[in-house]
A and B are shown apart, each in its own frame.
Chain A
């Protein structure tokens, strides 16, 4: 019997081709848009997050609480000597790479103009283990101990700098004495992270000597392997063992709180818009199925007159609704998978070469993400809504006497 019902259901769907196709289309389009828009938003967040990790924070960083609490604090008041930590951290399996950085405020002079920049002392040898900065470099990378500087593209543009120019970096030492460094521009960095493009990089050891800091740094950045949470906890306990209450381990999400807040609020708005989209798509499908079932009350009468039981009639109608739900959802998901595959593999470049700036690390190619929860969820909701919409009128019609139904 089940076989006949299924056959009947599919013949009915085929008989009403145009309606079936239109209903499926509404459902497919809704599902398609939900998946693709979600992929976009996810891609933007992930891209920005990846840029933050790869260019600014690493997976986990050790830093003074004071700097995280007040991101505008560029003083050297909270530096620390990291040699205390390195041995213990190296013991951890989770830490696969680490590199120190020393962030300080400075003025960069080109002889005519000057510009207030964030200067960063980096270890030329270990920095590439954690950060991908070098990928965006035109020119040479820094060498330890040299009077060299790599400048961000925005700074280079503002001060008309090119590789092999000489600049003066004016800053203050730990004792508040003025210090002017003569540096050669060896490279220019054009990264997708606007903050990096506004910064300048110098060799760490040279910066430490010039600032009178010995071995001190402002932050220690790590790449971790395996579970980020367990790695973070292991690193935290190392910091705690050192009894340094001023210092703490921060995951990149904690270190980039501003960005996370922005991401969170834009996600809230996107969810709102997506739920509106889902709502109208569901109304479309439910309507189509209800109308389809209603206009066939006569047909139900015929089926019952021919001896089909109420249950069988209901089953047949639900099978039809399931058919529409399945085909529509499957079509939507398949199309979305294809489009998303393209988005994930090749990406698109929605902003051109525009620098979005304002600390939002979004630039260049935008890639989609695979969010299987949404994809599976959209598929299930599509089928579920269709079947539910099919059940109600089918039960109602199936309960009526064949004579009444035939007279409709």
Chain B
């Protein structure tokens, strides 16, 4: 324990040196933590939006449907009997059928096209958790009620409680116009949901479109994204011929593009980690080197190389932990605040609906990454101390004492 006492006294004696070492570690931790938080934030946000609102982890559709999807075709549907089988599959946390079709909303002289998604409220909530965006309430089963995108309502000059008439074609091409009551609006920040979306009850839509028991897709959510691969074969065995189970990463070229971006970001992140490590090591090497004489003195006084090394490791450990904590506090605060408020990236109106991006970037804070970054910082510091002090401790006291500094 005497070594720990010497270490503490050494740190207090050379305050500037200690402070500089701590700063390099703290900034290193801050930089790595914040970069990772932002990178994970943007990637999660993009993947998460696409997975929850479009692709699911796995999406079951008619083989021909992806090609016709843009048209919101009703000719390539899936039988919703499949739901019962899918409910039995272990490892799935949500199984949500969706029936998507296009319609026109006319009000006075103007008409506007809308994308209508008919859902089973309870199942959809488990899938996308849309209630967190809801102002008002969800439609009741079997009633002629809809929930609409907030931006869409604003544009049309409508409010919750108003009635709108939606014109659409049934699956057999007959045109229908039905009046609904707007019972809720969605304020999600996702262009796709807010600007031209209507949600209605699935059973009602099947009846109105004259396709009872049919849906355009069934989306599945696994408990863990890593489990998708395993579940895919189980699900594929269940679906009838002519129907495909498509994993999230094959959903669209956009997702494939994101996967590539992900690797670019990981590369940048590794460079930041590398440079931070280098800076810490460099600083520590300088600090130890200038103390070669001191090491000589300690050796001359009878400390063994092992004891000298342990004393330096104590110092390194204390500096490493202090630096990591000091860097982690502002870094975590920044991420936690950013997670709540978000950073505005661009004008929400300018983005095409096909991207599931919110106009704000939300970094993510995760305790596991915080722990990992802090442990890494302490390990790097210990290594940075160990490297030069091992050599210095082995020097003959007479040689070390003659060194500069």
Instruction: Give A contacts to B, CB under 8 Å.
Output: 19, 22-23, 25-26, 29-30, 33, 37, 71, 115-116, 158, 194, 257-258, 261-262, 264-266, 268-270, 272-273, 276-277, 279-281, 283-284, 287-288, 290-292, 294-295, 351, 354-360
Chain B contacts with A in 19-35, Cβ cutoff 8 A: 20, 23-24, 27-28, 31, 34-35
Q: Are A292 and B286 touching (Cβ within 8 A)? A: yes
Is the beta-carbon distance between A358 and B23 smaller than 8 angstroms? no
Give Cα A360–Cα B355 distance, bound, in whole angstroms: 12
Are A356 and B290 in contact, with the CB atoms below 8 A?
no
Give the segment of B63-71, B134-142, B307-315 that binds chain A: B63-71
The stretch from B2-10, B217-225, B277-285 touching chain A is: B277-285
Report Cα–Cα, A71/B351, bound state, in Å: 11
Q: List B contacts of A25 (CB < 8 A).
A: 278
Instruction: Report if B298 contacts A (CB, 8 A).
Output: no
Q: Which of A283, A294, A356 contacts B253 (CB 8 A)?
A: A356
* Interface size range of chain B in the complex: 35 or more
Interfacial chain B residues near A19, Cβ < 8 Å = 286, 289
Give chain A nearest CB distance to B94 CB in angstroms: 25
B354 touches A358 (CB 8 A): yes
User: In the complex, what residues of B have CB within 8 A of residue A359's CB?
Assistant: 352, 354
Q: Which 10 A-B pairs have the closest CB atoms?
A: A357-B253, A284-B279, A358-B254, A295-B290, A265-B345, A358-B253, A356-B257, A283-B27, A258-B352, A276-B31
CB-CB under 8 A from A71, the residues of chain B are 352
* B253, A194: Cβ atoms closer than 8 Å: yes
Complex CA distance for A71 and B353, rounded to whole angstroms: 11
Closest to A277 in B: B272
Give B331-349 as 1s and 0s: 1 = Cβ < 8 Å from A's Cβ atoms.
0000000000001011100
How far in angstroms is the closest Cβ of chain B from A118?
A: 11
Q: How far is the CA of A262 from the CA of B352 in the complex (A)?
A: 10
Query: Are the C-beta atoms of A287 and B23 separated by less than 8 Å?
Result: yes
The reply to whether B346 and A264 form a contact with Cβ atoms under 8 Å apart is yes
Check if A357 sits within 8 Å of B283, measured CB to CB: no
Nearest-neighbour CB distance to chain A for B25, whole angstroms, equals: 10
* Docked complex Cα distance between A283 and B280 (Å): 10
User: Does B252 interact with chain A (Cβ within 8 Å)?
Assistant: yes
Q: Which residues of A contact B71 (CB under 8 A)?
A: 116
Query: When chains A and B are docked, how far (Å) is the Cα of A337 from the Cα of B253?
Result: 34
The listed residue (B257, B278, B345) touching A284 by CB distance below 8 A is: B278
CA distance A266 to B357 in the complex (A): 12
User: Can you name the residue of chain B whose Cβ is closest to the Cβ of A114?
Assistant: B67
B50 shortest CB reach to chain A, Å: 11
On whether the beta carbons of B24 and A287 are closer than 8 Å, the reply is: yes
In the complex, which of the residues B256, B347, B357 contacts A356, with contact meaning CB atoms closer than 8 Å?
A: B256
Chain A residue contacts of B16, Cβ below 8 A? 290, 294
Q: In angstroms, how far is the closest chain B Cβ from the Cβ of A391?
A: 16
Known: A26-B282, A354-B256. A294 touches B38 (CB 8 A): no
Name 7 interchain pairs, CB-CB below 8 A, sorted by A: A33-B271, A258-B351, A268-B361, A272-B35, A284-B24, A291-B286, A295-B405
User: Which residue of the partner chain, among A116, A270, A272, A294, contacts B17 with CB atoms under 8 Å?
Assistant: A294
Return chain A residues, CB-CB under 8 Å to B361.
265, 268-269
Q: Are B257 and A360 in contact (CB-based, < 8 A)?
A: yes
Asked whether, in the complex, the Cβ of B31 is within 8 Å of the Cβ of A280, the reply is yes
B239 interfacial contact with A, CB 8 Å: no
Residues of A contacting B285 in the complex (Cβ-Cβ under 8 angstroms): 22
- Please state if B38 and A272 are interface contacts (CB–CB under 8 Å): yes
Q: Is B287 interfacial (CB-CB < 8 Å)?
A: yes
CB contact between A23 and one of B275, B282, B346 (< 8 Å): that residue:
B282
Determine whether the beta carbon of A269 is less than 8 Å from that of B42.
Answer: yes
Known: A22-B282, A291-B287. A279 touches B354 (CB 8 A): no
A351 to B261, CA, bound (A): 10
CA distance A26 to B308 in the complex (A): 29
> Contacts A37-B268, A357-B256, A357-B257; is A291 near B20 (CB within 8 Å)?
yes
C-alpha gap A23/B38 in the complex (Å): 29
Instruction: Please determine whether B279 and A283 come into contact, CB atoms closer than 8 angstroms.
Output: yes
Give B26's nearest chain A residue, CB to CB.
Answer: A283
Instruction: Verify if B241 is at the interface (C-beta below 8 Å from A).
Output: no
B276 on interface, CB distance cutoff 8 Å: yes
